[in-house]
Amino acid sequence: MVKLDVITTRGGDGGETSLGDGTRLRKDALRVEAIGTVDEANAQLGLLRLQLAGDAEADAMVARIQNDLFDLGADLCVPGVAEDRLRVTDAQCARLEAEIAAMNARIPPLRSFVLPGGTPGAAHAHVGRTVVRRAERQVVALSAAEAVNPVALRYLNRLSDHLFVLSRRLNGNGAQDVTWTPGATR
């Protein structure tokens, strides 16, 4: 159980923060950047959920993903890959893959690249997707320097795919996609 009595601790006033194992790191450390960007992605998905009123299926998917992103933050905040800590799992990746397949089965194949936009929900999904891609790049950089749960990286890669397909679903299963026209502004 999590219990937070004190929010303002002043512990970060000197530019450092504590990880889940008590280690202190500078706030600009690769690990802290990755954790912060996962948190930012989660906040973007909170904005996306505001656009999902009346779409219980999509809202439930995004709610599960938000919880997964907290799991991912917990995974990243304890260095190493020890199994005795909360870690992102293959089952979470498999769930994303199943949801992608189910959504994609109802959407016509692409004939062009999709520009971010269309409906408000789709636009928010695209913003979330780009933040997830940034988090993925940061976890890749972190994994080059330290041990990171490899499933964490797979999860972020699947999640960006999921948000892309969700954006198409939210665009009327692709009917309202905004597509790229090469050279259109020359």
4-47, pLDDT tens digit by residue?
Answer: 565 666 666 677 777 667 788 767 789 899 999 999 999 999 99
* pLDDT range class, residue 86, cuts 50, 70, 90: confident
Least confident of 74-88, 117-131, 161-175: 74-88
What gap in Å lies between CA 101 and CA 132, rounded to an integer?
20
Beta bridge partners of 2: none
CB contact at 8 A, 118 and 51: no
CB contact at 8 A, 48 and 121: yes
Whole-prediction pTM value? 0.90
Mind listing the pLDDT tens digit for each residue in 176-185? 999 999 998 8
Tell me the domains of the chain and their CATH numbers. Answer: 23-107+114-174 (1.20.1200.10)
